[in-house]
Amino acid sequence: MDMFIKIMFLVVFFAVMIGVGIYCRKQATNVNGFVLGNRSVGPWLTAFAFGTSYFSAVIFVGYAGQFGWRFGLASTWIGLGNAFIGSLLAWNILGRRTRVMTQHLDSATMPDFFAKRYDSKALKIAASIIIFIFLIPYTASLYNGLSRLFEMAFGIPYTYCVIAMAVLTGIYVVLGGYMATAINDFIQGIIMLAGIVAVIIAVMQQNGGLMESIAKLSQESITTDAGTQFNGVFTSFFGPDIFALIGVVILTSLGTWGLPQMVQKFYAIKSEKSISTGTIVSTIFAIIVAGGCYFLGGFGRLFGTADPATGKPVGGYDSVIPEMLQNLSPLLIGIVVVLVLSASMSTLSSLVLTSSSVLTIDFIDPVFCKKKAMSEKKKVLWMRVFIVFFIAVSAVIAIVQANSPVLFISQMMGVSWGALAGAFLAPFMYGLYMKRVPKIAVWINFVIGIGISLASFVCNMANIKFDNAVLEYFKSPINAGMLAMVLGIVITPIIALIAPAKDKERVAGIFSCYNKKVTVSSKKAIIEDEPEDESAQAAVKAAKAQSKSKNSNPRKKSKKK
């Protein structure tokens, strides 16, 4: 009976996902429809698509377990940073301007934006190559959190789980494109919201409730390298290592501003109302899901056993969350499995859709179809082919990593987020706001993002130890990614001030998209004075005169009587 409940959860879940793909197939006949849903995606779908693409099994199982173990309850700051920096500020700073400028430029991908904004096909090709290289290991990492959960819940080998998830995700993305992904993201987001709340309540009850769990966690201690023992540090406000915590908050929060699969959600926004509603919904979603995941992970030391030699959990960080959940009821375990599947499949669909569209539109078409551009139908066909390719490659990498100690792959997964965000964040953000940003600034950001992240990767692979505390701090892939982003944000405006301004007329034409006049109701704006323009004044007077003549019409008065 217990197994039947778990299997029924999965059957219903997969049936709904595929059904949505079939339902949306008619809207995925051209590039705009397949990649952006014809820019007609409503506020709730956009907000949930943003949130579910943000948070995956990597967050729920990997990061929540790892940083919850390291920082205790202070890891909740990571989730709050994701909500207020990664969601709220991202929507307010990037959302509207991204939607307006990308539509003005007729841009469907981030590399295409770089090409048209900075007038450089070379930037377009370089950006597409960076995305192609660094999104594959990031995609493969999504499967990692599923292995222990599926073995715990079903006894199913990890390989079969990966194949099933890959096939089912591929079906609905290939059939319905972005719209199918957005609708499924909404459904999966509801599951994630309900699931994380239920799991937190159930896990807390295992230790006598929230306050009792905090009391037990406060008894955990940590010993520094100098031999000093700290008690209660895992229930403190900033945890045992505030500087490491800040690095994680910045990378996982600010990093979303430069990730192509996240920014692309703003391309598809339907209207002004979608932006205001989407901002609120996505922020609340992030507070509950991300804040809940990291808060739950903060109690990891109550369930895992620390290795005396390393201080890390026996079985690795990925074992922390599964050990919390193994004593839950079959119903709750079924919910958890569907929760993690939802988180993984939503992010996987977003990543492979981004990868396939970038490779087709920004690399294959301009490089191999110079004489005659591909037709809309051919582009959509190639994107569908590349979706299958990316899903297959990521699944193979995940299976290989699980069955053999391939350190190269696991290290690259940590590097990919920092490399993408470090390379793209500053040129994309400043490209929406500053007219003077030159092409050379974009190239420098590409070099900084990729160079720092790869340097960190090499140092970790070679196990290089630095005597300098600063170098040792930035050797971490997370801190290296943070450094790359901050450097880009600081250096780009300096380069813009130094470098001579070029193509002023072309850039002015691009920024003219922000100067278009729109009409709003008095609910949105208060008119303090009469309009200065003479023709506008005449129109206002004529309207007033017409209104007075209607009110003084004797026929209307008699009718009223």
Q: Which comes out higher in pLDDT, residue 456 or 157?
A: 456
**Helix (H), strand (E) counts: the chain:** 27, 2
Q: Report the Cα–Cα distance between both ends of the chain, in Å, rounded.
A: 76
Among 29-43, 181-195, 541-555, whose mean pLDDT is lowest? 541-555
- Tens of pLDDT along 120-142? 889 999 999 998 888 887 777 77
Conformational region of residue 315, where left means phi above 0, alpha means psi within -120 to 50, and beta covers everything else: left
What is the mean pLDDT of the segment spanning 257-284? 84
**CA atoms within 13 A of residue 205's CA, in its CB half-sphere:** 10
Residue 494: pLDDT band (50, 70, 90) is: very high
Q: Delimit the domains of the chain by residue range.
A: 2-16+40-224+232-401
Rounded to 5°, angle at Cα 116 from 112 and 119: 125
How many Å apart are CA 486 and CA 478, to the nearest integer?
13
Highest mean pLDDT (candidates 44-58, 302-316, 414-428): 414-428
Q: What is the pLDDT of residue 533?
A: 53
How many Å apart are CA 148 and CA 60, to the nearest integer?
13
Mean pLDDT score of the chain: 80
Residue 557 has pLDDT above 50, yes or no: no
Residue 558: pLDDT band (50, 70, 90) is: very low
- Tens of pLDDT along 342-357? 777 777 788 888 888 8
Closest CA to 203 of 79, 293, 99: 293
How many Å apart are CA 347 and CA 514, to the nearest integer?
32
Q: What is the pLDDT of residue 405?
A: 55
CATH of 2-16+40-224+232-401 given 3.30.70.270, 1.10.1200.10, 1.20.1730.10, 1.10.3720.10? 1.20.1730.10
Q: Which comes out higher in pLDDT, residue 336 or 98?
A: 98
Count of beta carbons in the 10 Å neighbourhood of residue 290:
29
Contacts of 481 (CB under 8 A, 6+ apart): 251, 255, 415, 417, 418, 419, 421, 422, 452, 453, 456
Cα separation values, 194 from 199, 339, 537, Å: 9, 9, 55
Q: What is the pLDDT of residue 134?
A: 86
Q: Which comes out higher in pLDDT, residue 511 or 13?
A: 511
Among 315-324, 456-465, 494-503, whose mean pLDDT is lowest? 315-324
Residue 184 has pLDDT above 60, yes or no: yes
Residue 263 contacts residue 257 (beta carbons within 8 Å) = yes
Tokens of 438: 């030159």
**DSSP secondary structure, 7-40, as one string:** HHHHHHHHHHHHHHHHHTGGG-SSHHHHHHGGG-
Residue 387 has pLDDT above 70, yes or no: yes
Residue 172 contacts residue 18 (beta carbons within 8 Å) = yes
**Burial of residue 404 (number of CB atoms within 10 Å: 0-12, 13-18, 19+):** exposed
Distance from the Cα of residue 464 to its chain's centroid:
32
How many Å apart are CA 294 and CA 289, to the nearest integer?
9
SS3 225: coil
Rounded to 5°, angle at Cα 151 from 148 and 155: 175
